[in-house]
Structure 1
Amino acid sequence: GESGYVASEGFPNLYPPSKECIWTITVPEGQTVSLSFRVFDLELHPSCRYDALEVFAGSGTSGQRLGRFCGTFRPAPVVAPGNQVTLRMTADEGTGGRGFLLWYSGRATSGTDVPSVPCPKQYRRTGTLQSNFCASNLVVTGTVKSMVRGPGEGLTVTVSLSGVYKTGGLDLPSSPTDTSLKFYVPCRQMPPMKKGAKYLLMGQVEANRGPVLPPDSFTVLYRPNQDQILNNLSKRKCPSQPAPAA
């Protein structure tokens, strides 16, 4: 169908333990699938080791993985490259949460242009390290190796990773020796970065653009004491994210 709701088993009550559930969503040919999460409450783990919802492009779980999610923060909207996506939810034997409720819809293919982002006149970093840690699904430390213009009006920034604290569903090792990651920065110099400098980067992993550093992302020069703070934050449960106003 063109749109509808999908919910985990038992929703809005607790989902059952020791289960694997798979859904395949198909919208009309010529459209792409867009997923918008309305409720999300799965057992939290830094790498979603216990309970998780995975999203794959196409029919089945052998296609490109578009995301792997857990915790109580609603994931950012997911847009698949085609007219099918597959959801796989796994739960271990422990007690979980309410699960998820999402709205899927088909939308006309708009080509490969990079969406434009309104850029503020000044870079402003708001919130605390903890609040931004919870609001971001990708948290890493690393050294900027290159900054190249494009795609669109933004930059592609390649970072040599030294620490990984939240993966955003990417397959990143916890000890990322010789691992690089490319971020898309929609607004040049927002956040401000320099080649050769080491940073703490808090961003998002988006289905259509991959790792992204939005213009208000929490990006600061790296300090050694941040490692212990980030390790502690990764072990805590983030507070529930408030639902948007109707």
Structure 2
Amino acid sequence: MWAKAGDTLNRPIFLCGGDLVAESGFVGSEGFPSSYKANSRCTWRITVPEGKVVTLNFRLFDLEADSQCRYDYLDVYSDHSAVGKKLGRFCGTFRPGNLISSSNAMMLEMVTDGETQSSGFVAFFKATQPYESQICGGKMTKSQGEIKTPNWPDGKYPLGVSCSWLITVGPDEVIQVKFDKFVVEADTECRFDFVAFFNGKETDDSRLIGKFCGDQTPEPIVTSSNELLVQFVSDYSVPLDGFLASYTSLPRGSQPPAVGSRARSVPPEPVVKPVATVKPTIPTTTAPPPPTKPPRRNNPRTRGENQRVTPSRPNGNKPNPQNPVCPKTCKRNGTVKTGFCSSEFVITGQVTSMAPGPRGTLVVNISLIKAFKAGRLTITQAGETMAVKLVSRCKKCPLFRRGGNYIIMGQVDEEGRGTLEPGAFTAPYKAPHQKLLMNISKQPC
């Protein structure tokens, strides 16, 4: 629906749900760009002409952030039904990548609770040809071939793309895919950038063979039929080299299929929750802090995270537990170059929160500016930026200030968390350091 403002400007009025039947158009949260309403449930059903699919591109996105999208969220489905064809659940302020339905229909459902209203979302939808796009994807009917991310091997894959390849071979054959190279943004749930394989033509969970991300090359996969749908999705940050894979047809029954596998090519460390949701307990004689916002809705893997942990402070009546490994004088070791070479991770970022950890440690949450060297460090999404969690062996060594920007170098523990030993290299970060770190990152240690 469109409203007239003055004589020259037409602006869309976004309502709570509705049926959108068109070749293209905009869809947005009720009242956008004003804040959406509390305690609401809105459903939009998009229909494009028969024989085409719906491509959805988010222009703006701002919903209440939560690591599990339990409070305010947007569900997107590859049909007008909410059964078995969910393309994702989204919240926070990080725009999802392009989404493509498997038919000429798509459904969006937005749910909000009674607190923390934001501006919502606006997205553009259009009808496109199945398994085709401007830069990647397509139909493949030869008995063997290659699939690769856009720009391979000359550059990193683009931000915000969705590519679909439909591979079809003879009726008595199955398809085997082997990866030659694989470097896709890592995440324990493969929420951000990923490649997924489906038996048949539809992105149905029951037909999912595997979903992969990270830098560990997936094992070869084999379909159970003569059709394979491959979908690659990237979001709007951290573009990497991508992948190159080759496929070939095999006689049916020559190798057991891998149907039902949910394997994900991610770092082998155990899953680490990005941000703590329970404040550490320290001795105090004052009233305990109020509880964190309780979960109200169940939700598996989804994007969005911006929970904050408020540092607990001593009340002065009891001393903090002492950490014997902390030196009386804290001094930084080495230079930028030697610290870069000896560290497993090198990042620049802003300190967003600090909280006491076990045995005299300090848990520091960092909003990432840039990762020059990541190693096994777990990097997660928090709002519009990526974030990491670091554990310092000493509460005041190195010395951080909330809101400050720093160069931080350190090691990574078995759970993927960054660790800072006494003497780890840290320094206040300024813009000229960007070029220095870039130059060092290109040099051999």
Is the radius of gyration larger for structure 1 or structure 2? 2
TM-score norm. by structure 2 comes to 0.28
